[in-house]
Amino acid sequence: MTNKLASVPALGLAALVLASLPCLVLTQTPTTDPSGDTPFNSMAIARDEADECRVPKPPNDLAETAYLRNGYRAILRILIAEEALTSETCICLLDDFTWDQALGALPRFQTSDNPRLPFNALELYAQADALEAQVVEACAE
């Protein structure tokens, strides 16, 4: 009978320790430090060097909908890739372009008079992907 009574407090202590584990895990903040010292529960992924030249997500105030913002992002990718091919440069040209240039280039890529769907974003992305592939191929030579 004493064995059963002795195990009840031990179970209570074990339950208390287990209940506090989620608090301990949540206090660790994720980091993108690629040093390998990131906690095991971190889902953050360190950026590759190639990502430094990747066109970022457009600001929310660029356009009213995500569809339009994504289209302008594709336009900016196209403009950058075209300039890289024209100038035959393999350096990152991202800093040489602005979102205003993507907005200004809209007439060139416009396929509709509908202000909510002025272009086909999927076609723009495919064109951007193809041009960026040409840049990668040219720079690999």
Sequence-separated (6 or more) residues with CB below 8 Å from residue 106: 72, 75, 118, 119
Report how far apart, in Å, the C-alpha atoms of 97 and of each of 54, 83, 111 are.
12, 10, 23
- Return mean pLDDT, the chain: 80
Share of the chain above pLDDT 90, in %: 62
Residue 121 has pLDDT above 70, yes or no: yes
What does the pLDDT read at residue 64?
94
- pLDDT average, residue stretch 41-51: 55
Residue 127 has pLDDT above 60, yes or no: yes
Residue 60 has pLDDT above 60, yes or no: yes
| pLDDT digits 0-9 by tens, 21-45 | 454 444 455 555 555 555 555 555 5
- pLDDT average, residue stretch 39-60: 70
What does the pLDDT read at residue 141?
83
Longest dimension (CA), the chain: 88
Residue 128 has pLDDT above 70, yes or no: yes
The reported pTM is: 0.66
